[in-house]
Amino acid sequence: MRRGGFTLLELSIVLIIIGLILAVVIRGAVLRKSAKIDATVSSFQINYNSCEAYFNLYRSYPGDLDGDGKIESDGITELESKGFTVKKTNPYGGGFSILWQNYLSDSGNYIITTNIPPDVDSLIDQKIDDGDISTGRYRRFGGNSVLRI
């Protein structure tokens, strides 16, 4: 007598196929997250390198209106107007700016961006700086992620 239903072999094959599909989907999500982190690091580096190139050419920072070394006006706009390569947004939808700021009594010129998730900030810090988001050149202050120039 023949019963209707699936054999153990058929069920095993279906489970293996489902497992493979899940592995591909999960791996794709990990790759997308890694690509966004790498793109954010690249954006910081492009903006930083453009600031340094601008300084080497003009002997002042972009947006330093009075020559005191403090960037009072957004440096991204100045860099762009002089033909330097800049990244205006990060992959998480936040914008970049370059300004003089005082973060926890650490005054200086910073490349600033927003909308980077806190868990991602620590991974970016590992690639750019010392791996500790509370120390070094790359830090998080409130909702801002900043890189000191």
Number of DSSP helices (H) and strands (E) in the chain, helices first: 3, 4
Inside any domain, residue 2: no
Q: What pLDDT, in 10s, does the model give residues 104-146?
A: 778 899 999 999 999 999 999 999 998 888 888 999 888 899 9
Query: Residue 23 maps to which CATH number?
Result: 3.30.700
Inside any domain, residue 16: yes
Inside any domain, residue 1: no
- Domain total of the chain: 1
Strands 106-114, 138-141: pairing kind: unpaired
Query: Tokens standing for 82?
Result: 């002089």
Q: What pLDDT, in 10s, does the model give residues 30-87?
A: 889 999 999 999 999 999 999 999 999 999 999 998 989 999 999 999 999 999 999 9
Q: In what order do the strands lie in the sheet with 138-141?
A: 96-103, 106-114, 144-148, 138-141
Structural domain including 82 reads: 8-148
Inside any domain, residue 144: yes
d(CA 41, CA 35): 10
Inside any domain, residue 50: yes
Inside any domain, residue 38: yes
